[in-house]
Amino acid sequence: MVEVRELHEMAEFEQVDALFDDIWHFGTGAPPITIELMRALAHAGGYVAGAFEGGRLVGGSVGFLASGNALHSHVTGAAAGRGIGFALKLHQRRWALERGLERITWTYDPLMRRNAHFNLAKLGARPREYLPCFYGVMDDAINQGDESDRLLAVWTLSDPRVEAVARPDASARPSDGPPPDAVVALADVGGRPVAGPGDAGTVLVAVPADIAGLRGADPGTAKAWRHAVRDVLGGLMAEGRAVTGFSGKSYYVVEKK
């Protein structure tokens, strides 16, 4: 059973710092949040929470109030595969609603299939903006040497889609199947990105199966994916098209408004 609660003590912030370092292995690089800043945010009414399993910290999340009556979730890290990330997001949603906030935003790497599926298909969030090299070139163990392109995800808390996924009934979650008339604008062909037509009403944009592994095994192909997704997905979003889902754990679904 996972328990999520707000954190207030220095010892708790130190545990979150250690957990984040175990996940990302920052080395000499700067972490996304310091112990001191967690302390200040929690004291000032920001969001600092931890997920506990059997009394052990297994997830943490830090956010701050943002313009547009929103909470911006700056960093969230959790042990994978046990529903901890989902429990943290539901806690964030309750916290935000209790304070009259309307949405939660966060950024994530568009090349990470698992995160895209979680954010779009499981949570019902929607990307609003493509942000090229948002944090500069990264130097943690997971992202080392890669340009930090990000998608800004928006979770509109009163959206019926979001209310449905927040319920415990999994059958209420939307299907992530592609529309039958969708055209592939970026395909995965033998592990490499290949661009296709992008002028259809609904297009699909592929992302690699394992970008983290690809960065170490084949940096050139990883870079090709980074630039292809930036050009195709980022280009479509710049034209005003909307990302409406993530299909088959493989493709962004992009539609004309």
Q: Enumerate the H helices of the chain as residue ranges.
A: 10-24, 35-43, 84-98, 113-116, 160-166, 211-217, 219-229, 235-238
Q: Is 147 exposed, middle or buried (0-12, 13-18, 19+ CB in 10 A)?
A: middle
Question: Which pLDDT value is given to residue 136?
Answer: 85
Write down the pLDDT at residue 79.
86
**66 touches 92 (CB < 8 A):** no
**pLDDT of 207:** 98
Contact 169, 238 (CB under 8 A): no
Instruction: Give the integer Cα–Cα distance in Å for 206 and 103.
Output: 27
Query: In the chain, where are the structural domains located?
Result: 2-172, 183-255
- The reported pLDDT for the residue numbered 138 is 63
Specify the pLDDT at position 78. 94
pTM: 0.91
Does the domain at residues 2-172 carry the CATH identifier 1.10.730.10?
no
Low-confidence ranges of the chain (pLDDT < 70): 28-29, 138-145, 169-176
User: pLDDT tens-digit profile of 196-241?
Assistant: 999 999 999 999 999 989 998 999 999 999 999 999 999 999 999 9
